[in-house]
Structure 1
Amino acid sequence: MASITQNMRYRLSLITYAERHGVSNAARKYKTNRQYVYRWKNRYDGSWDSLRDRSRRPHSHPNQHPPDEIKLIQDMRRRNPHIGLVVFWVKLMQRGYQRSIPGLYRFLKKQGMTAQKLPNPKYVPKPYEQMSYPGQRVQIDVKFVPACCLVNGAKGKRFYQYTAIDEYSRWRYVEAFEEHSTDSSAVFLRHFLERFPMPVECVQTDNGTEFTKRFPLLGRRL
């Protein structure tokens, strides 16, 4: 149920006083004009709703969309429910539409015809590929060695730990270097291949700068 406002109570009191003491006396007492009293007396039908403010929204607008444009927009939206505002506006312009993008947006929002968002595709994790024999794939990674882990003559120096793990046998080889570079990576890989008892088919890294210079060179070109 709609609430009864203070203005509605004021108008009812005004009308009641005018019926008892006359319109002129009511206008003087409530500090308004006679036209205001007559307007609400004529509008009042005994219900609270008749004392409520009416909408001041215009029934029409000189720049509103005509029926042919409305039909064009509805047909286009029905065929293209997911395309964005700009692409939708361009498609309409190609068919004779001459309104601006803000005007189109206001119309679409008012009519509830904005683009429908596509549901996000469900993520399906890729199953882990199990290796079948030693050496099929070896993972190599590099980590910085924290200073708290250094003892004796290594204190005060900076070391990087290279680790290679065979995915099938989990055989591991670890070596530390003072440089974090492609030269250190090449030396580590050579040492690993010399010590691993089986032939290695694939070595997988994270494509860091210590393994490839492709990304730094690309950045300098840009």
Structure 2
Amino acid sequence: MHHSDARIEDMAYTKNPHLPRIRMKAAKLVIRDGWSTRKVARHTGFNQSTIVRWVKKARVSNRLVIPTESSRPNRHPNQLSEELVSKIVEVRLRSNRCAEVVHEELKREGWLVSLSSVKRTLKREGLIKHRSPWKRWHFSESRPLVHQPGDLIQIDTIHLIPGNLYVYTLIDVCSRWAWARVSERINTHRSLLFAYSAKDRFPCPFKILQSDHGSEFSTYFSENVKEIVNSALPKVFFRFEI
């Protein structure tokens, strides 16, 4: 298993920057000056077996220092099997969804693995998308009071993994009137078309539309959807986490 230099440094059992050079100096006392390993151990204060290991490494190395190696174990009694790791990667590449969705799909197929193990595996394989430092933060607003139909409309998407399809869903919080449509893909344009189709069928005007900040409800959607909500309100559209 290959590790990056940063990974090895993070897993090192010591952070002493001078220890690699000290190891080589102690080994040279044996190799070059003819000291015994016991004498070097008394001189440096390290265990004799430690000096022996350093000497073995120094004899086969052309480096000026003996670097600090990772303290990460090569094996663990509870580590995931190669078959399970391959399955996690396969489901991730097939569904292109987050670790939680991958975990649920594995459970449906009969694989016993924890969510934390799935996350660690995806992170180790470089399959987790980290939040962009340039992405804007959306501040939540207070949930509005709902008195009549149209006061608060919630819109979201559902991913159907077996068929790799998406379902746009929209529901009125007051009346529980709902509208749904299946789509092979999701994006801001399809989200806007879905919102328009729901607006044409709902008997009351939309006053506030709520989403979960998904990429399919980003800038293009939020700027153009204002045309279908009640323009009499001072702030006709906002988004916050459900």
TM interval, shorter chain, is: 0.3 to 0.5
TM-score (norm 1): 0.46
Normalising by structure 2, we get a TM-score of 0.43
Q: Is the radius of gyration larger for structure 1 or structure 2? A: 1
